[in-house]
């Protein structure tokens, strides 16, 4: 069996407004990340990557680089106007929409875009 043991990547790309998981995969002797290492990225606070996903994974590939290095978490647009059948739109701002259902209709109160 053939194993690739001498290919490493330097630190993975950082991420603003998100988290990076997999940093514990760093080789303690070299301080770098071995070939095949996967890093998981997640956007926070309702943000998304350019492709619309909230999470992604990057891999240390055979030539010693990460397979993707340029990505950012972007603000998402709210789907407005939002109406609520049998409910009341109490407050709406740039990032928060508060909808309230009367108790009598709680089980049948649905959102409708």
Q: Which domains does the chain have, with CATH numbers?
A: 1-76 (2.10.70.10), 83-112 (no CATH)
The three-class DSSP label of residue 67 is: coil
Structure-model confidence comparison of residues 5 and 9, the more confident one: 9
pLDDT value for 94: 47
Q: Which helix (H) or strand (E) holds 91?
A: strand 88-92
**Long-range contacts (CB closer than 8 Å, 24 or more residues apart) made by 21-25:** none
Confidence of residue 4 (pLDDT cuts 50, 70, 90): low
Structure-model confidence comparison of residues 107 and 43, the more confident one: 43
Cα Rg of the chain, angstroms: 22
Q: What is the pLDDT of residues 22-33, one digit of tens each?
A: 999 999 999 999
pLDDT value for 23: 94
**98: phi then psi, degrees, rounded to nearest 5:** -105, 115
Q: What is the pLDDT of residues 82-91, one digit of tens each?
A: 555 555 555 4
Q: What is the pLDDT of residues 31-68, one digit of tens each?
A: 999 999 999 999 998 899 999 899 999 999 999 999 99
């Amino acid at each position: 069996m053939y194993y690739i043991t001498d290919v490493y990547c330097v630190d993975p790309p950082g991420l603003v407004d998100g988290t990076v998981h997999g940093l514990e995969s760093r080789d303690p002797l070299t301080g770098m990340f071995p070939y095949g290492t996967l890093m998981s990225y997640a956007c926070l606070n309702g943000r998304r990557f350019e492709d619309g996903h909230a999470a992604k994974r990057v891999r240390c590939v055979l030539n010693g680089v990460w397979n993707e290095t340029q990505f950012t978490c972007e603000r998402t647009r709210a789907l407005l106007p939002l109406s609520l059948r049998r409910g009341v739109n109490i407050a709406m701002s740039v990032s928060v929409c508060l909808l309230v259902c009367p108790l009598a209709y709680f089980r049948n109160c649905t959102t409708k875009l």
